[in-house]
Amino acid sequence: MANKGKLIFKTFIPETFDTLQKIKPTDYKWFAKAVEDFKKKEQGTHILKCPGVNSIIKTGWIQKNYQDLKIITNGDGRTFKCIMTYDQINHKYGKLMSNYISDHPPEMFDKFRPMNTNTLKTFIKFQTPWIAYIPDGYKLLQIPVSYSDENTFTAATGFLKGACHLNVPVYWHQLRGEHILKKGTPICQYLLIKDNDIETEISCANDNDYNIFLK
């Protein structure tokens, strides 16, 4: 399907319509605290003055978990159980979507690039109801939510092109215990990148560069 000029997101479950949206600072719990702190301390360095942080938390789209989940790990570093509040496989389009929570076993990745010691060897995979049609000449970069409030998991990174499912494998960092993942928890962030080869130059900086950055 040729798509010349529009990025299109669609969900097979209408009730999840508000779980994929343009990212905004109010998606972060910590941001409100930072604003209040900044009001007391407008002089000097502050996180709200950082151009890198402030631009990335306003750029792209965010996908959120659409139902309450309980993830249970037993300490073996490999396996997990998930208790879901809604079984999407029974939906009209369930054959395509499959179960909301699935996995990639250790043989998929850990076998070749071992996971960190605080990370489950199995990817937990969100098989979401969302699909995307990415315009020709562009790709969609999936990244972890930048400066996320959530530290129990990290979304895997990768490029998506054309017509694609927006499924999200995550690294799970809680090896033993039960964790409730609430509806509305951000899962990952998307950035649209233009396919564009440009000339690159790598060289040493000089006095001219020094004077530019000194200003």
**DSSP code, position 146:** T
Q: How far apart are CA 135 and CA 88, in angstroms?
A: 28
Structure confidence at residue 2 as a pLDDT band (50, 70, 90): low
Q: Rounded to the nearest 5°, which phi and psi values hold at 213?
A: -80, -15
Q: How far apart are CA 147 and CA 55, in angstroms?
A: 12
Q: Which pTM value belongs to this model? A: 0.91
Structure confidence at residue 148 as a pLDDT band (50, 70, 90): very high
Each domain of the chain, given as residue ranges in start order, spans: 8-35+61-194
Q: pLDDT tens-digit profile of 192-210?
A: 999 988 899 999 999 999 9
As assigned by CATH, the class of the 8-35+61-194 domain is: mainly beta
